[in-house]
Amino acid sequence: MESRRESEKKKLKRSEILEKKKAIDQSIKAASAQTDQLASFPPFRCFNRNGLCVRLESGRGDKLSPCMKQCIQSLLKANMEGPYGSEWAAEEKVKRREMVAPEARYIFVHSNANEMTVDDAPSPSPLLGFVHYRFTVEQEITVLYLYEIQLDSSVQGKGLGKFLMHLIELIARKNHMGALVLTVQKANSLAMKFYMSKLRFVISSISPSRVNPLVGVENNYEILCKTFDPDAKAILEESE
pLDDT in tens, 200-238: 999 999 999 999 887 777 888 999 999 999 999 999 998
Q: Taking the model in full, what pTM does it have? A: 0.89
Higher pLDDT, 213 or 139: 139
Q: In 10 A of CB 180, how many CB atoms? A: 24
Region 110-139 average pLDDT = 75
Amino acid 59: pLDDT: 97
**According to the model, what pLDDT value does residue 132 have?**
98
**Can you give the pLDDT at residue 120?**
44
Given a cut of 80, is residue 183 above it in pLDDT? Answer: yes
Contacts for 240 with CB less than 8 Å, ≥ 6 apart: 205
DSSP states of the chain as a string? ---HHHHHHHHHHHHHHHHHHHHHHHHHHHHHH-S-GGGG-GGGGEEEETTEEEEEEEEEGGG--HHHHHHHHHHHHHHHHHHHGGGHHHHHHHHHHHHT-TT-EEEEEEE----B-TTS-BPPPPEEEEEEEEEEEETTEEEEEEEEEEE-GGGTTSSHHHHHHHHHHHHHHHTT-SEEEEEEETT-HHHHHIIIIIS--EE-TTSHHHH-HHHHTTSSEEEEEEE-SHHHIIIIIS--
Of 166, 168, 158, 153, nearest in space to 105 by CA: 168
For residue range 95-105, what is the model confidence (pLDDT) as tens digits? Answer: 999 999 999 99
Model confidence over 71-122: pLDDT tens digits?
999 999 999 998 888 889 999 999 999 999 999 999 999 998 654 344 444 4
Q: Which of 83 and 181 is assigned the larger pLDDT?
A: 181
pLDDT for res 28: 97
Whole-number mean pLDDT of the chain?
A: 90
How does pLDDT run across 48-62, given as a tens digit for each residue? 999 999 999 999 999
pLDDT digit string, tens, across residues 2-36 = 577 777 777 777 888 899 899 999 999 999 999 99
Q: Say how far apart CA 116 and CA 166 lie, in whole Å.
A: 32
